[in-house]
């Protein structure tokens, strides 16, 4: 099998992982009626917290714990503003994005004195590649062998966890009582309240799940994909995940394929820096690199299909007395 094809496929998977985590995080939150444009900020603060904890403790798993806790803390702030105090969810999300970006730089500069960066990570401070059983023995099998040994095997723990979360999220949302209530509270919270279910507590649980998943996304970027935290290293992935979520109409499996599409465009942009097209000539690298963002704008502008959000999305619930 062509080595270039395998490399692009491998890069597509690796680059789509933070998008899958973040888009699934937004899925839980927005299905419950809490719009969340702070995915970017929560990913960024999780990336900083995980890289800092990994650098100090020397363990990637402590880094993951710190990243998740930081993202959950920011998620609870969004929940407090949106659910308890019934504030504007868009304003709350924007504020969290700004706070996360500023806080990471200030704390990074104060703690490590490296211009807002964390020290470079290596060894046990990062999530390493996992070789699956039989990868070496099957490598010689035509077609399936290179795919299994070169693409499926050799990924890190968070990659497998991201793809496992897709069927898990589908099962939770569409096959459990919690998922049924979560979807119902995003459509008609008054009906859920009438049935004796606490709307605020249900929404808080969705917001906490959102924080956990964005914590995984930020941790992956900082200590699995990269080797430390850098300023603005999430590079708009939270907003791309939101576009994927809308494009996929708030459904887990289409969310995965939308994120893979963005990941493929990103992988293609990396490998097609000096591409030459017939009748056009050499395409500027900046034009290739802008492809994922151009697609994001197209999707958010609503040019592809009609996406209908949960009916109660963005609307604070006020209990009638």
Tens-level pLDDT at each residue, the chain (321 residues): 577 788 889 999 999 999 999 999 999 999 999 999 999 999 999 999 999 999 999 999 999 999 999 999 999 999 999 999 999 999 999 999 999 999 999 999 999 988 888 999 999 999 988 988 887 787 778 778 888 888 888 899 999 999 999 999 999 999 999 999 999 999 999 998 888 889 999 999 999 999 999 999 999 999 999 999 998 899 889 998 998 898 888 999 999 999 998 888 888 877 776 667 666 667 776 777 777 777 777 766 666 667 788 888 888 887 766
| Of 33, 145, 41, 27, nearest in space to 93 by CA | 41
- Give the HSE-up count for residue 173: Cα atoms under 13 Å, Cβ half-sphere: 23
For the chain, the C-alpha Rg in angstroms (whole number) is 20
Residues contacting residue 25 through CB under 8 Å, at least 6 positions apart:
36, 39, 42, 209, 210, 211, 212, 213, 214, 217, 241
Please, are residues 36 and 217 in contact by the beta-carbon 8 Å criterion?
A: no
Alpha helices in 231-281 (DSSP H): 237-247, 252-271
Exposure class string for 224-260: b at 16+ Cβ within 10 A, else e: bbbbbbbeebbbebbbbbbbbbbbbebbbeebbebbb
pLDDT in the model for residue 302:
62
The one-character DSSP state at 132 is: P
Tokens of 131: 């070789």
pLDDT in the model for residue 165:
96
**Residue 9 to residue 147: CA distance in whole angstroms:** 9
**Residue 73 to residue 211: CA distance in whole angstroms:** 8
3-state secondary structure 268-300: HHHHCCCCEECCCEECCHHHHHCHHHHHHHHHH
Strand partners for 276: 282
pTM, whole model, 2 decimals?
Answer: 0.93
Tokens of 169: 């999220």
pLDDT in the model for residue 304:
62
- Residue 130, phi then psi, degrees to nearest 5: -115, 120
> By three-state DSSP, how is residue 155 classified?
strand
CA distances from 247 to 70, 221, 288, 298, 312 (A): 28, 23, 22, 10, 19
Listed in order, strand segments (DSSP E) in the chain are 129-130, 155-156, 276-277, 281-282
pLDDT in the model for residue 279:
65
């Amino acid at each position: 099998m062509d080595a270039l094809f395998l490399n692009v496929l491998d890069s597509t998977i690796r680059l789509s992982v933070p998008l899958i985590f973040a888009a699934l995080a937004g899925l839980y939150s927005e299905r419950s009626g809490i719009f969340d444009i702070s995915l970017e900020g929560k990913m960024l603060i999780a990336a900083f917290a995980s890289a800092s904890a990994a650098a100090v403790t020397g363990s990637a798993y402590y880094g993951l714990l710190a990243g998740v806790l930081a993202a959950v803390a920011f998620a609870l702030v969004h929940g407090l503003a949106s659910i308890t105090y019934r504030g504007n969810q868009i304003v709350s999300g924007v504020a969290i994005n700004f706070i996360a970006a500023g806080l990471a730089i200030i704390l990074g500069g104060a703690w490590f004195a490296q211009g807002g960066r964390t020290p470079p990570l290596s060894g046990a401070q990062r999530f390493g590649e996992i070789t699956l059983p039989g990868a070496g023995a099957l490598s010689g099998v035509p077609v399936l062998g290179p795919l299994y040994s070169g693409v499926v095997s050799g990924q890190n723990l968070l990659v497998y966890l991201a793809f496992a979360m897709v069927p898990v999220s589908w099962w939770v949302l569409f096959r459990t009582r919690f998922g049924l209530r979560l979807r119902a509270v995003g459509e008609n919270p008054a009906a859920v309240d009438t049935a004796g279910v606490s709307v605020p507590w249900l929404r808080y649980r969705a917001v906490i799940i959102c924080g956990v998943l964005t914590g995984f996304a930020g941790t992956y970027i900082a200590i699995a994909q990269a080797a430390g935290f850098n300023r603005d290293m999430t590079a708009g992935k939270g907003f791309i995940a939101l576009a994927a979520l809308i494009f996929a109409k708030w459904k887990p499996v289409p969310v995965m394929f939308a994120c893979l599409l963005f990941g493929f465009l990103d992988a293609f942009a990396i490998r097609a820096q000096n591409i030459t097209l017939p009748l056009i000539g050499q395409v500027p690298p900046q034009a290739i690199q802008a492809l994922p963002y151009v697609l994001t704008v197209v999707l958010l502008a609503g040019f592809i299909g009609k996406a209908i959000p949960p009916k109660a999305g963005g609307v604070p619930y006020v209990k009638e007395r």
